[in-house]
Amino acid sequence: MLDLTYDAPKPKVIAGAKHDWELVIGLEVHAQVATKAKLFSGASTQFGAEPNSNVAFVDAGMPGMLPVINEGCVAQAVKTGLGLKAQINLYSAFDRKNYFYPDLPQGYQISQLYHPIVGEGEVLVEMGPGPHDGTARVVRIERIHLEQDAGKSIHDMDPNMSFVDLNRTGVALMEIVSRPDIRGPEEAAAYVSKLRQIMRYLGTCDGNMQNGNLRADVNVSICRPGAYEKYQETQDFSHLGTRCEIKNMNSLRFIQAAIEYEARRQIAIVEDGGEVVQETRLYDPDKNETRSMRSKEEAHDYRYFPDPDLLPLEIEQAWVDDIAASLPELPDEKKARFIKDFGLSDYDASVLTADTDNASFFEAVAEGRDGKLAANWVINELFGRLKKDDREITDSPVTPDQLGGVIALISKGDISGKIAKDLFEIVYTEGGDPAVIVEERGMKQVTDMGAIEAAVDEIIAANPDQVAKAKENPKLAGWFVGQVMKATGGKANPKAVNELIAKKLAG
């Protein structure tokens, strides 16, 4: 179990016409394995290639062709399992799931029904507006199995014909099945995004939802408050409502909208005295509704059986241990370390560990410097500036060394926060060593008390009326501070100026 210091988020409650209702959600996420070749052939997995150019004979279902397992895909599935703190099964096996579809030339999909490669695991899902509101839920993983993807039918290129592109046929997918532990639309989206984050850290799936490399079947049911807790106590599904499955969602926004719609649809049925029918539905984003695709009665009989072309997959513990030893630091650990070592807030640590590029950039900036100050500069100044230019952190014109240089100058008291912003902009647009720029352009903060005192005296002498007022009302001292800062081009040390003015006005 993870070391949980968070409270569980409250489940989403929807008020029906008669009662309050809660949601129960379980996801089957399909993640394309990041590898060069397909699961059982040497054909390339490259996205966007010329249609039907990445197809081996075995992918096209040619007679007599035999599948050969790609060890790289197995390693990636094991790595993903380890990243989800899951049981790795040293024995697993492939089964045929039989159905006919034009983009499935074999007439069956090779999958793992009875003996998946990965067993039970868990994911910590943090909640909130922004990255985190201080609550989190552990979502249990039931299993991960390896399977083949299907090809793509194209119906909108010709009025009289359909086309088929087999480039995706046989590409390796990991199907990650959760327990029905998710309690609302936002949580479902946060769960998918956490899986994506972990797999990106691991390098096992690029998580690109637009290209269909990460998609989810979303199972939704409704129950009365209290029923879910009974299910959790007993693991008895009869406490839960009948679920519907919304197929093939590839957008976090649509996942949330579809769950919300589906829950309200089920509530209306049940409150009307009807019963929810278990079925597969499709979400239509244009109409924001789900529609029935097939009911349980029409469900396929897939006639699963062990694939006779493939031996059971037996892997060795030593091999699993090697993979475990090569795991990178994962998001939860990295975040905890940032909070501890750099004194960051939960929020800042979440933002900075969202991906490894952000995290490494920040670490390079913060190394040996004030961590909180570094976090502020990376998040507020650098991210803000990059966003304005629509640039990625990997494409930042300011290097960690340069930003670290700016921060070091602030910490030493060489420049004020205001001058630092000007300096940052110069480094961002012109490049250069911040320390040298400060020297050459005379941007150094004036800490010479004599010079500051002279400026203060001058302003006080020139404004006797203001002095009189400020003696009555000490709040007016701020005006003098502003004047002195102006007179020194913003370079006077603000703390010194404040103290000096307070002293002079009191005197």
Q: Is 353 in the site for ligand ADP (CB under 6 A)?
A: no
- Residue 401: CB atoms within 10 Å: 11
Nearer to ligand ADP by Cβ, of 182 and 410: the residue is: 182
Question: Distance of CA 241 to CAs 62, 220, 224, 228, Å?
Answer: 44, 9, 9, 10
In the chain, what are the helix, strand and coil shares in percent, each to the nearest 5? 40, 20, 40
Please report, as residue ranges, which positions from 236 to 295 form the binding site for ligand ADP (by CB under 6 A): 237, 240-241, 243
SS (H, E, C) 192-216: HHHHHHHHHHHCCCCCCCCCCCEEE
Q: What is the dihedral of CA 274, 276, 279, 285, to 10 degrees?
A: 100
Nearer to ligand ADP by Cβ, of 240 and 435: the residue is: 240
Question: Applying CB under 6 A, which of residues 180, 184, 400, 404 lies at the interface with ligand ADP?
Answer: 180
Nearer to ligand ADP by Cβ, of 291 and 300: the residue is: 300
Nearer to ligand ADP by Cβ, of 185 and 241: the residue is: 241
Question: Applying CB under 6 A, which of residues 6, 9, 12, 27 lies at the interface with ligand ADP?
Answer: 27
Q: Are strands 244-249 and 214-223 parallel, antiparallel or unpaired?
A: antiparallel
Q: For residue 336, which amino acid is it? A: A
Question: Applying CB under 6 A, which of residues 167, 193, 197, 219 lies at the interface with ligand ADP?
Answer: 219
Q: Nearest-CB residue to ligand ADP?
A: 26
Q: Is 121 in the site for ligand ADP (CB under 6 A)?
A: no
State how far Cα 49 lies from the chain centre.
27
The whole-angstrom separation of Cα 364 and Cα 393 is 13
The least CB distance from residue 228 to ligand ADP, in Å, is 10
Helix (H) or strand (E) holding 392: none
State the first-to-last Cα distance of the chain, in angstroms, to the nearest integer.
Answer: 64
Q: Is 116 in the site for ligand ADP (CB under 6 A)?
A: no
Stretch that binds ligand ADP, among 20-28, 46-54, 80-88, 286-294 (CB under 6 A): 20-28
The least CB distance from residue 277 to ligand ADP, in Å, is 13
Nearer to ligand ADP by Cβ, of 179 and 372: the residue is: 179
Q: Is 214 in the site for ligand ADP (CB under 6 A)?
A: no
User: Tokens in use for 224?
Assistant: 């009365």
Nearer to ligand ADP by Cβ, of 122 and 370: the residue is: 122
The least CB distance from residue 3 to ligand ADP, in Å, is 25
Residues near ligand ADP (CB under 6 A)? 24-28, 177-180, 219-221, 237, 240-241, 243
